[in-house]
Every structure is written in structure tokens, then in C-alpha cells.
Amino acid sequence: MTTPATRVAIVTGGSGGIGRAVAERLGAEHFDVVVHYSGNADKARQTAGAVSAAGGRALTVKADVADESEVAALFDAAVAEFGGVDVVVHTAGIMPLGPIAEMDLADFDQVQRTNVRGTFVVDQAAARTIRDGGSIVNFSTSVTRLQQPGYGAYAASKGAVEALTLILARELRGRDVTVNAVAPGPTATPLFLDGKPQEVVDHLASLAPLERLGTPDDIAQSVLSLVDARWINGQVVYVNGGIA
């Protein structure tokens, strides 16, 4: 197998939070990075600038991850600009919260469309496009173990992500492509912090033996480890400071 001089990564949800941290870390490793975004072009451009400053090249592409035509265009853009795809890190997702008995079914449907269908569509494109020797990293959540009230729809979507991850790893037999999922615990991102009172944040920070929230950089470090590891495959890696 011939290894390209520069590896190419697509990072979905790269406009902020964990996605931006992952994109920057890959840029520091001299990857060419396609920064995907769904709505905030300015933040995506900021991430691209950070990737360039870190040492990589960057391209921003807008797409709805649950739309197969738009995701196909995202992958086509990576191939056209950088020559191929070696790594796909799928961080894009949404997290509407609410008790199961009270959640509007439209909200439930939206989280399943984005988190489950979106993962399926991105993984399908990745499986068709990624070069041999590559890596796919999906995103689950430690809530699948913590069973926190209010997270039913979100946890259900991420349980599906885990199943897709483990099966895809086995379907790509013979191509030297690893497929894993990262399952972060409470992490200080806008997605996690939005709408939570400070006392709730403080309580969640106290749960882990390390007595703090995770940071986007903590999660990005775990992603890079999985990208570089060639003997970790078909696994869900819990990155939560020991909370679960």
C-alpha cells in the first residue's frame, strides 16, 4: 500500500466545539482538512483559518449530513481539492433534551434524522470513498451508560450510532480501514452547556474522579489516537475522565 504524503480528513461539525478542536489537531499533524458545517459559515472559516495556522490546508463545505446528495458533494469536494479521503471524523449532531413522556415527536424525529440517518449517510459515503488504510471515527456519548433522565431521544440515537460503527468495522474487512466511535462524557462545549444552570454544570463536573468537565481538546486527543492506532477497530471508546 502506498501512503500519500499528506493525509486528507473530513471533519463534520467542524465549525465549533469538539469538531473545531479535532480539525485544529489534525491540522497540527499536517493533514489537509475539509471543515464541514451546516449553518455557521463564519465559524467554519475561523476553523479553517486555525487549521492553516496549525500547519494544514483547509476547505469549508456546507452540507446537511442527513441529505445523501449534499454529503456526496462534500466528499466530492474533498477528492477534487485534495485528491482523496483518508480520515472521516463525524462529530456533527444535535442534542434536544426532554423527558420521554413530554418530548414532542417532531423533536424526536429531528434528532434521529440528524444523529442516526446523518451517521448512516456519512458512513456510507466514507465507506465508498475512503482510501485503504484510512480511519472513520463516529461520535456516541457516555449517556448511553449514565442513563440520565431527559436524554432519552439523544441516547437512543447514539445507541444506533454505536451499532452502525461496530457493523461497518466488520463490513470493511480487507481494506485496512479502522472504524471506531468516541463516547465523550460531560464536555464544556456550547452544545452541552446551553440551557444548563450553573449548579447542574458544577454537579456534572464533580461526578468524574478527575473532578472537572472534559474539554474539546481532551476529546480531540482521543480522536487523533484512534486515527493513528492501527490495532483498535470496531470499538466504542469512552472518553469521560472515569465518570462511567
Are 186 and 213 in contact by the 8 Å Cβ rule? The answer is yes
Helix 118-129 with 68-82: angle, nearest 10 deg:
40
pTM recorded for the entire structure: 0.94
Residue 203: how many CB atoms within 10 A of its CB? 12
Question: Can 238 be counted among the known catalytic residues?
Answer: no
For 194, which DSSP code?
A: T
Instruction: Give the domains, in start order, of the chain with CATH numbers.
Output: 8-186+219-238 (3.40.50.720)
The amino acid at residue 169 is A
1 confidence band (pLDDT: 50, 70, 90): very low
pLDDT attached to residue 203: 86
What span, in angstroms and rounded, lies between the C-alpha atoms of 244 and 242? Answer: 5
Widest pairwise Cα distance in the chain: 54
Taking only the tens place, the pLDDT of each residue in 96-141 is: 999 999 999 999 999 999 999 999 999 999 999 999 999 999 999 9
C-alpha cell at 209: 474522579
Taking only the tens place, the pLDDT of each residue in 136-152 is: 999 999 999 988 899 99
Rounded mean pLDDT of 218-232? Answer: 97
Inform me whether the pLDDT recorded for 3 exceeds 90.
no
Length reported for the chain = 244
**Of residues 37, 151, 154, 238, which has the active-site annotation?**
154
Taking only the tens place, the pLDDT of each residue in 28-59 is: 999 999 999 999 999 999 999 999 999 899 99
